[in-house]
Amino acid sequence: MRPGSTVPSQWDLETFVGRFRYYQSVSTDPINMIQSTEQVARCKVALQAYDQGDRTNTITSLWQCQKVVYSCTDPETGEAIWPLFRRSAFIPTNLVIFWGMLYSPQTMPFIVGWQVLNQGYTCCVNLANRNRSNSLSNEKIMTCFAAATGVATGVSMTVKTVVNQLPTPKSVVGKGLHWGIVPLCAIIGAGSTNVYLSRKNEIDQGIGLRASREMKGEPLATSHVAGSKAVLLTIMSRALIPVPTMFMIPILTGGYDKWMSTSKLGVRSLRSLRLGFQLTSLTACLFLSLPLSLAPFPQVCAIEFSELEEEARKKIRQSCNEQSIPTPGTLYYNRGL
């Protein structure tokens, strides 16, 4: 369950299907990208009223409020995220970026240009949706951006060189994989580097652990082990995002081009249809890729007390003694997105 409200979730977040439906709701609706601060505040008030015992709002309206708040705010601080860095902006922003990486010429200027744009945007999204236990300096932010862009460019050119030396496949599927492998490897390599560098301080300094899944109250302690797990799960999740798009779009486009070669329609009509087909299929893949990549792992993750480092266990015992509460066997942390 995502922290922030006691309103029953519309879906079972303990299952993959439930989390997929949840992330599809909060991450793929572009309308949430333009929700104003005032609208978000009204939704937060409605959820807070429910927490305090007010049952005047219907469960359907509360679910809509949850959708707005969860899509537009930071899960720990409750502050509104800048519209272009919200998860609901994923489809419109990445439609442009993925289009450029897939259909631009695979030459150095285009590869570098699109990777600079992609990694700059990714770096901003990482920072807007990170765990808030630690902060980053401007110098660290620029280091993350430069390193990720360098990795993306290096991987792109290396993979491109290798692929160019291989014989061109004759099948539609083979040509599609041949076409999409360069941007796919670049995105995975750069994305992993970007997440690791922008959130390395979570590993070095640890992230907050709380006793409740709702993430209420102050952290009982910070943990390096939990920080490492949070970063690893995010890297794995981010690596899954481009897979459907970079594999399926080239295959679908190749199949469409094969059909066009036998069509009797005019050239202008074929070009218009091809553009529409590409935009439709790319939007559909992006619509599925984000929830598919986020659903394998819950946002609020559990970790057993026995898995933590000794320093964290000692701090938890001390905090529990001060608050006169039993030491929990399971702790919870926000893994970030």
Q: Are 111 and 119 in contact (CB under 8 A)?
A: no
What's the length of the chain? 337
Map residue 48 onto helix, strand or coil. helix
Tokens representing 190 are 């750069």
Kind of pairing, strands 330-334 and 207-209?
unpaired
How many other CB atoms sit within 10 Å of the CB of residue 110? 15
DSSP conformation letters of 277-289: HHHHHHHHHHHHH
pLDDT value of position 17: 92
In this prediction the pTM is: 0.75
Average pLDDT along the chain: 80
pLDDT value of position 253: 76
Low-confidence ranges of the chain (pLDDT < 50): 1-3
Q: What is the dihedral of CA 297, 302, 306, 309, to 10 degrees?
A: 80
pLDDT value of position 230: 92
Tokens representing 322 are 């001060």
Distance CA 97, CA 186 (A): 13
pLDDT value of position 3: 46
Strand partners, 73: 80
Strand partners, 207: 223
Domain ranges of the chain: 86-266+300-334
Helices (H), the chain: 16-27, 37-51, 59-72, 90-103, 108-128, 138-164, 172-198, 200-205, 224-240, 242-260, 267-294, 310-323
pLDDT value of position 76: 65
Backbone angles phi, psi at 222, to 5 degrees: -115, 150
Distance CA 84, CA 87 (A): 8
For tokens 């190749």, the residue is: 254
Distance CA 275, CA 270 (A): 9
